Amino acid sequence: MLGRLFLSSGDLLADRRFEFARDLQLKGDLVAAADLLDQAVELAPNFASAWFTLAEIREQLGERDAAVAAFRRAREADRDDRHGATLRLMRLGAEPLADMPKAYVQSLFDQYAPRFDEALLQNLRYRGPTLLFRAVLAVRAAERKPAFFKHAIDLGCGTGLAAAPFARSVDRFVGVDLSPGMIERARATGLYAELEVADMLEGLRKRPDASFDFALAGDAMVYVAELAPLLTEVARVLVAGGLLTFTLETHSGAGVVLGSGLRYAHAADHVRDAIASAGLVLAHLEEASPRYEDHSPVRGLVVVAAKR
């Protein structure tokens, strides 16, 4: 789905070894690639991209312990963990489930921003925005209220795809996203009165109580492990009668897991519990796939919750 992050070691020879190793890796010669990467990290011991790639290869070769050690070296070499070594360690069961490194999410979407809309809409058949819009219309119709909102906040707004169907239903949109690249694209849509580069939880914390009547998050809570703190903040900023809607990925087990696509999947019961613990009331929860991955529909949930 995405290009690879490369952080130069600052050592020309080590960088060259890395490039050759990547060629070999792509050609399937993993052992030779690992050998060159071993040389690269010997030349430049803090070469995060080389450690990360070496870790991936060790994992592909079935050398779990060596993979774990190399992912840890990648993270030590880049404390912000822009490669997301932490996620790989979670997937390997070497570390407990935790939040995603913010710098990883930011660099992922900064790289992705220029081709995000095309990739999502065409390649991944993204229909989260339509699902959210339909769910909100259904909830409002059941409440015999118009689907019209004065002040909305779009959490993880990205380029604005999820806000677009609501453009005529919202007077004033605020967008919050970790990625400056995505925010720049969102600005170009003209959909938002205000945009902020921030973590969504931090962005919410700065807002006064009861300052929004609508909150949405399209395909963004898949980057949040623990929903309850976020939903609690949403509940605080919503007025009575306000709505929150979001899509999620889901799974048949219990709780939260980190899927192979490196996004969290939340079980439906976990979502229900998080909504209740935030003091919100569930108005709609539907199994529906927001998008495809590897040519198959991803299992998803479309949720609407209300503040009473």
Ligand X SMILES: C[S@@+](CC[C@H](N)C(=O)[O-])C[C@H]1O[C@@H](n2cnc3c(N)ncnc32)[C@H](O)[C@@H]1O
What binding mask, one character per residue, do residues 176-195 give for ligand X by CB under 6 A, x or -? Answer: xxxx--x-------------
Nearer residue to ligand X within complex by CB, 7 or 100: 100
| Residue from 218, 235, 283, 300 in contact with ligand X (CB under 6 A) | 218
Name the pairing type of β-strands 212-217 and 238-249.
Answer: parallel
Shortest Å, Cβ 24 to ligand X: 32
Nearest C-alpha neighbor of 248 from the set 266, 235, 234, 261: 266
What binding mask, one character per residue, do residues 15-54 give for ligand X by CB under 6 A, x or -? Answer: ----------------------------------------
Q: Which residue is nearest to ligand X, using beta carbons?
A: 158
Nearer residue to ligand X within complex by CB, 225 or 239: 225
| Residue from 124, 195, 200, 280 in contact with ligand X (CB under 6 A) | 200
Shortest Å, Cβ 200 to ligand X: 4
101 is an interface residue for ligand X by CB under 6 A: no
Report the distance separating Cα 156 and Cα 141, nearest Å.
27
Nearer residue to ligand X within complex by CB, 8 or 122: 122
Residue showing tokens 């997301």: 84
Shortest Å, Cβ 272 to ligand X: 22
156 is an interface residue for ligand X by CB under 6 A: yes
223 is an interface residue for ligand X by CB under 6 A: yes
Candidate segments 12-20, 40-48, 158-166, 254-262, binder of ligand X by CB under 6 A: 158-166
Site for ligand X in 224-283 (CB under 6 A): 224
| Residue from 21, 24, 70, 105 in contact with ligand X (CB under 6 A) | 105
Shortest Å, Cβ 81 to ligand X: 14
| Residue from 109, 173, 212, 214 in contact with ligand X (CB under 6 A) | 109
On the 0-12 / 13-18 / 19+ scale of CB atoms within 10 A, 45 is: middle
Binding site for ligand X (CB under 6 A): 105, 109, 128-129, 156-158, 161-162, 176-179, 182, 199-200, 218-220, 223-224
